[in-house]
């Protein structure tokens, strides 16, 4: 019976074509507006590593001075100092640990047709690649010995490798960066997490992509400045070593635990570490030491802002307005079919069967509206992606949102059709037959 009602619904699309076209267009516009906004929100609020996000943690210490501090005040920064990073790398718990700074400078290509150009990247430790499961196209990450010695080794992204060497394998060749020769140990394949969670402070969740990675120890040995956010609550003192020994926060740190259940043990270790540092005259505020897993970290940094959520609510409000208009159009369309309903009821059709038929026809309108709404949403997302590189990262539809589009359109149409369908079922057969 459902198949018959479905065919009947398709055939009835040609009945009252103007009303049908208005219903489909109204529904499609409402669905397109809500789905395109919801798609952007969905991508922005996505979990970039859902299978291990509960095992990746960011620690934050409140290591500012006592001046102007009140108990409960938030830390000055969402990064850690070099001294804390080195201590946690050396003795912290967990399966993997990495600290990371932003690095950048001038790169001098071997190719004669390329002039030196500026590049930016990251300075992590070797664990960074395994922790975030970064795929390699050629070669591999540098060794633990390279980390320890601060060797001049470099991992290129695929885009930078192709710019410098085309499709050749550059492993074993040397890249001249900031006047120093770096040995290429690997080329990572396409790795484009959204949001860019690994170095979000100072880089942004939807900003540029790192073009290369060198060991943190190498960047420090060359006394490179941090390409990113650096926060100092006091005078660090003269010289690079004084900066390293200061309480300035400029490094982002990640722990990877073997299981999420080890979180309490990690928190205890951080509290014990902070207590030890206080005995050494540091961290005078005696504040709580924060620990965020990956999803908590994105929420803490407000990757999805309130304005984005407000936009989504406004879009759904617009969809609600479109539904109200659709209800009016359905009432007009079904009212002219009272005679048809009367005849069917007189021939033995029950109100339930009439309800199923009309509701199925409404669902057919929803399907057609969903198809048109999908096309409109794709067009809207394409226009949005042209506005900036940041929007281009998030204005893309995946299979989940594709399914949501059709489900939303059909559900909206069925919801809008409940009242007109109920009104159609209230037709009294005798009165309708007498009026003919």
Q: DSSP string of 153-209?
A: EEEEEHHHHHHHHTTS--TT-EEEETTEEEEEEEEE-----SS--TT-TTT-TTSPP
Alpha helices in 246-305 (DSSP H): 263-279, 294-300
pLDDT band at 435 (very low <50, low <70, confident <90, very high): low
pLDDT band at 2 (very low <50, low <70, confident <90, very high): low
pLDDT band at 368 (very low <50, low <70, confident <90, very high): confident
CA-to-CA distance for 222 and 154, rounded, in angstroms?
Answer: 14
pLDDT band at 203 (very low <50, low <70, confident <90, very high): confident
Question: What local confidence, expressed as pLDDT, does residue 429 receive?
Answer: 65
Q: Is 288 helix (H, G, I), strand (E, B) or coil?
A: coil
Nearest to 157 by CA among 133, 177, 171, 136: 136
- Mean pLDDT taken over the chain: 86
Percent of the chain, pLDDT > 90?
41
Question: What local confidence, expressed as pLDDT, does residue 325 receive?
Answer: 84
Nearest to 30 by CA among 280, 395, 380: 380
pLDDT, mean of residues 396-401: 76
pLDDT band at 390 (very low <50, low <70, confident <90, very high): low
Q: Is pLDDT of 340 > 80? A: no
Sign of the torsion angle spanned by Cα atoms 11, 13, 18, 19? positive
Nearest to 62 by CA among 54, 48, 72: 72
Minimum mean pLDDT range among 236-240, 346-350, 376-380, 426-430: 426-430
Count the neighbouring beta carbons within 10 Å of the beta carbon of residue 295. 18
CA-to-CA distance for 50 and 167, rounded, in angstroms?
Answer: 32
Under DSSP, the state recorded for 26 is H
CA-to-CA distance for 117 and 119, rounded, in angstroms?
Answer: 7
Q: Is pLDDT of 436 > 70? A: no
Nearest to 422 by CA among 347, 330, 349, 321: 330
CA-to-CA distance for 7 and 358, rounded, in angstroms?
Answer: 12
3-state helix, strand, coil in the chain (%, to 5): 50, 15, 35
pLDDT tens, residue by residue, 10-64: 777 677 788 888 888 888 888 888 888 888 777 777 788 889 999 999 999 988 8
pLDDT tens, residue by residue, 132-188: 999 999 999 999 999 999 999 999 999 999 999 998 999 999 999 999 999 999 999
Give Cβ neighbours of residue 281 (< 8 Å, ≥ 6 apart).
none
pLDDT band at 388 (very low <50, low <70, confident <90, very high): low
CA-to-CA distance for 104 and 210, rounded, in angstroms?
Answer: 10
Question: What local confidence, expressed as pLDDT, does residue 394 receive?
Answer: 67
* Prediction pTM value: 0.74
**Cβ-contact 28, 226 below 8 angstroms:** no
pLDDT, mean of residues 108-136: 93
**Highest-confidence segment of 252-261, 353-362, 383-392:** 252-261
Nearest to 146 by CA among 222, 217, 90: 217
Count the neighbouring beta carbons within 10 Å of the beta carbon of residue 422. 14
């Amino acid at each position: 019976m459902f198949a018959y009602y479905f065919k009947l619904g398709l055939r009835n699309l040609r009945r009252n074509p103007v009303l049908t076209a208005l219903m489909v267009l109204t529904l499609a516009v409402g669905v397109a507006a809500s789905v395109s906004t919801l798609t952007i929100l969905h991508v922005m609020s996505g979990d970039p590593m859902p299978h291990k996000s509960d095992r990746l943690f960011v620690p934050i210490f409140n290591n500012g001075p006592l001046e102007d501090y009140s108990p409960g005040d938030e830390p000055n920064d969402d990064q850690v100092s070099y001294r804390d990073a080195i201590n946690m790398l050396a003795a912290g718990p967990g399966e993997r640990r990495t600290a990371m700074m932003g690095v950048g400078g001038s790169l001098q290509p071997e190719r004669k047709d390329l002039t030196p150009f500026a590049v930016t990247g990251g300075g992590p430790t070797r664990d960074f690649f395994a922790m975030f499961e970064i795929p390699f196209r050629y070669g591999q990450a540098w060794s633990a010995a390279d980390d320890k010695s601060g060797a001049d080794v470099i991992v290129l992204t695929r885009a930078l490798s192709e710019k410098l060497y085309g499709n050749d394998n550059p492993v074993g060749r040397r890249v001249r960066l900031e006047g120093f020769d770096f040995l290429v140990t690997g080329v990572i394949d396409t790795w484009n997490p959204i949001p860019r969670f690994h170095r979000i402070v100072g880089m942004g969740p939807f900003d540029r992509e790192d073009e290369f990675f060198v060991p943190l120890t190498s960047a420090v040995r060359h006394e490179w400045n941090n390409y990113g956010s650096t926060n100092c609550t006091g005078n660090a003192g003269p010289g690079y070593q004084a900066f390293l020994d200061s309480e300035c926060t400029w490094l982002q740190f990640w722990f990877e635990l073997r299981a999420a259940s080890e979180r309490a043990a990690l928190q205890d270790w951080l509290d014990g570490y902070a207590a030890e540092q206080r005995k050494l005259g540091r961290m005078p505020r005696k504040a709580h030491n924060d620990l965020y897993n990956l999803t908590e970290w994105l929420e803490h940094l407000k990757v999805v802002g309130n304005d984005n959520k407000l936009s989504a609510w406004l879009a759904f409000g617009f969809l609600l307005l479109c539904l109200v208009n659709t209800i009016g159009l359905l009432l007009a369309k079904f009212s002219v079919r009272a005679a048809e309903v009367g005849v069917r009821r007189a021939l033995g059709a029950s109100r339930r069967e009439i309800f199923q038929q009309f509701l199925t026809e409404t669902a057919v309108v929803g399907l057609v509206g969903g198809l048109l709404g999908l096309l409109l949403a794709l067009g809207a997302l394409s226009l949005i992606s042209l506005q900036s590189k940041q929007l281009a990262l998030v204005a893309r539809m995946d299979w989940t949102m594709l399914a949501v589009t059709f489900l939303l359109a059909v559900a909206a149409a069925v919801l809008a059709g409940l009242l007109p369908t109920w009104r159609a079922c209230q037709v009294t057969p005798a009165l309708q037959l007498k009026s003919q």
